[in-house]
Amino acid sequence: MCLLGTQAPMFQAPAIIDGKVVADFSLAQFLGKQEVILFFYPKDFTFVCPTELLSFQKDLPRFLDKNVALVGCSTDTEETHLAWVNTPREQGGITGVTYPLVADTSKTIATNYGVLGGDWSYNESGQLIFTGLPIAYRGTFLIDKEGIIRYMAINDLPLGRSSKEILRIIDMWQHVSQFGEVCPANWQKGDKAINATPESVSDYLTHTPIV
């Protein structure tokens, strides 16, 4: 399911924010104010997940400097999120994580974003069954201020993300939004971009080494 260029599914759900339970966290609060990186992860108290969440926390000031809100989400309960946030890092916890962690216990958020690892169906006896994994893949979504999804990527469970690469994606989108130029391969903030004309592309390819 490709949501790129469409309105991001809005939701209200419990969340943990800076160690406190928020009963009705809403994604819509950022509309018109901030871009959002919404990222899904499989499970609390696992192996790759704490490395990702702590990496995002380390880079949180860089996200905020770009006026981008960071929101994590899994199918765990808010109580499990809270326990994880209060568990020391040397014991597999994520103490110090302050950005919102949404509790998608109904699995509707992951389903609406197309990142749930399985689906419901009925067996021959008419009983409801679930095939696959009832947890979220590592989905990452950049949502602009109007609520439109401008970037999406989904990693399989063992494949951890790079917060640095997501920051680069944000830089590209903000450059495109501000200047109307397009960003070539391996573009970094401060690099030359391309005007969307044949002449500009030709000049870029002629004078820029492609490595």
Evaluate the CA torsion angle 27, 33, 34, 35 in order and state its sign.
Answer: positive
Q: Quick check: is 49 catalytic? A: yes
* Distance set, CA 60 to CA 23, 48, 205 (Å): 23, 18, 35
Token reading at 77: 């309960």
With beta carbons less than 8 A apart as the criterion, state whether 25 and 14 touch: yes
| Closest CA relative to residue 151, chosen from 179, 183, 189 | 183
Query: d(Cα 82, Cα 186) in Å, to the nearest integer?
Result: 38
Q: How far apart are CA 201 and CA 162, in angstroms?
A: 29
Distance CA 140, CA 41 (A): 9
In 3D, which of 37, 41, 52 has the Cα closest to residue 168?
37
Token reading at 211: 């490595």
* Catalytic site residue from 2, 49, 73, 183: 49
Active site residues: 49
